[in-house]
Amino acid sequence: MTQPQLRRLARVVNGGTPTSDASNWDGEVPWATPIDLGLSNGGTLTDTLRSLTQEGLTSGSALVPANSVLLSSRAPVGYVSVNDVPMAFNQGCKGLIPTSDLDNRYLMYVLLASKSALQAVATGTTFLEISSMNLGALRIPKPPLTEQVAVADFLDRETAQIDEMIQAQLELIAVLRSRRTAEVVAAVRLQQDTDNLPAGWELLPFKYAIASRFTGEWGGEPGSDDVDVSCVRVADFDRAHRRAGTAVPTTRSVSADKARAKALRPGDLLVERSGGTAKNPVGTVVLYNGPEGAISSNFIECVRLRDEHDPAFWCYLQEAAYSTGFTQVFVRQTSGIQNLDAQEFYREYFAAPGLAEQRRIAAALDQQTAQLAEMIDAANDVVSLLRERREALISAAVTGRIDPGTGIETVEETP
């Protein structure tokens, strides 16, 4: 099988972004970005999150015809989709217009299988990007057109079946997470009034349960100050289990005074005060279960409770508030970053029982959520295996190791 350079088989087109002038936007021309390609990776792309007017297209972007192939060339490198309508795209993508003897679906699958090779030739300091020259120099397997179509048809069928199985597991995970939320909300009695409050429970502001709180410290590069310490970031939050501290890969350097003042203890609550995304707004609260002496980043606030309150119970209580959307009323968006309105957040009322009952509820929830976590982890493992199988199947098919007619893979014998 020949392996010509991609530039011999497809024309590479660079994208662009017009100015922010209103006359350039919200028109009839779909405009793809790496985000759109990520959402449609390995499939077809029709609708995009943003669109251009004809004026915007002419002044600052480029258009490829329907049934071309779009590749994300940065942030990240390697998302691939076939556009089934004429489409513009930004500078984070490359458009590939195949010649008449290259099937567009086959090209998409080849590029999916070539993700590692594409990333290996990407360059850059701020972010990795693959140039048109390096993309065009990529060598790809090119069987006859009829065989390309057969491979693409085979992969369309097989990957569709795998995708259905993945979707079934993702739906199961969503159901299990909803069940966790329901069980936590019911157990901690998430309510902001005294109606039907059980005996021994009281309504109190969150701040009344707190002994002290302080924001974290980002510090400097390792070796630049008195003490090098592990630093917990929001990225280290285990959101599924509402914990942090067992895996902290970041080391920062701070003064000895800061290391003492900002040191975390097991049982501290860590509140995400800044950052956030549309999918995960700020306000997540996790329980720190790492060693003493680590610190948290400046986007996190450490909350240390009074002795008469149980941190695990309050972590579940805040999980219930976050999962039901209650915490989002305290989110403020400024300068492109989300911040938690701390004054209002800590002032909000919650129902809580005495310490013994808090501990009993937390222990019961530990057991219930552990069982759900095992099922969620098992489903995630299945998803990972299916995705690995999908990638391996594509790679084997485009390199000729699988007969698309029979689905039988040729296994090379080792001497």
pLDDT digits (tens, 9 = 90+) for 323-337: 999 899 999 987 778
Domain boundary pick from 311, 339, 356: 356
Domain boundary pick from 140, 165, 196: 140
Domain boundary pick from 80, 113, 140: 140
- Average pLDDT for residues 377-391, to the nearest whole number? 97
Same domain, 187 and 315: yes
Same domain, 188 and 276: yes
**Backbone φ, ψ for residue 372 (5° rounding):** -65, -40
Same domain, 208 and 322: yes
- Average pLDDT for residues 29-51, to the nearest whole number? 97
Residue 305 lies in a domain: yes
pLDDT at 277: 83
- Which residues have CB under 8 Å from 107's CB, separation 6+? 9, 10, 69, 96, 98, 140
Same domain, 58 and 130: yes
Confidence of residue 413 (pLDDT cuts 50, 70, 90): low
Question: From the centroid of its chain, how far is CA 336?
Answer: 18
Same domain, 106 and 189: no
Question: What are the helix (H) ranges across 193-276?
Answer: 256-261
Q: Tell how strand 331-334 and strand 87-89 pair up.
A: unpaired
Buried b (16+ CB within 10 A) or exposed e, 66-98: ebbbbbbbbbbbbbbbbbeeebbbbbbbbbbeb
Number of domains in the chain: 2
Task: State percent of the chain over pLDDT 90.
Answer: 89
Amino acid at 21: D
Residue 101 lies in a domain: yes
Same domain, 185 and 328: yes
Residue 306 lies in a domain: yes
Same domain, 228 and 345: yes
pLDDT at 4: 96
Structural tokens at position 17? 């972004």
Q: Is the pLDDT of residue 278 over 90?
A: no
Confidence of residue 130 (pLDDT cuts 50, 70, 90): very high
Same domain, 248 and 132: no
Same domain, 253 and 336: yes
Domain that holds residue 340: 177-356
Structural tokens at position 337? 């970053």
Q: Is the pLDDT of residue 93 over 90?
A: yes
DSSP annotation string for 76-120: SEEEEEEESS-EEE-TTEEEEEE-TTS-HHHHHHHHHHTHHHHHH
Residue 57 lies in a domain: yes
pLDDT at 140: 96
Q: What is the pTM assigned to this prediction?
A: 0.84
Same domain, 87 and 181: no
Structural tokens at position 25? 């936007």
Query: Please, what is the average pLDDT of the chain?
Result: 94
pLDDT digits (tens, 9 = 90+) for 335-371: 778 999 999 999 999 999 999 999 999 999 999 999 9
> What spatial distance separates the first Cα and last Cα of the chain, rounded to whole Å?
23
Element (H, E) at 303: strand 300-305
Same domain, 230 and 351: yes
Structural tokens at position 146? 């009829």
Q: Is the pLDDT of residue 240 over 60?
A: yes
Residue 251 lies in a domain: yes
- Average pLDDT for residues 389-396, to the nearest whole number? 96
- Average pLDDT for residues 166-178, to the nearest whole number? 97
As a whole number of Å, the CA-based R_g of the chain is 26
Q: Tell how strand 251-254 and strand 202-205 pair up.
A: unpaired
Assess contact for 80 and 42: CB atoms under 8 A.
Answer: yes
Assess contact for 386 and 166: CB atoms under 8 A.
Answer: yes
List the CATH number of the domain containing 61: 3.90.220.20
Residue 322 lies in a domain: yes
Other Cβ atoms less than 10 A from the Cβ of 159: the count is 21
Same domain, 112 and 191: no
Least confident interval from 30-34, 148-152, 195-199: 195-199
Residue 412 lies in a domain: no
Residue 398 lies in a domain: no
Give the Cα separation of 304 and 178 in Å (integer): 29
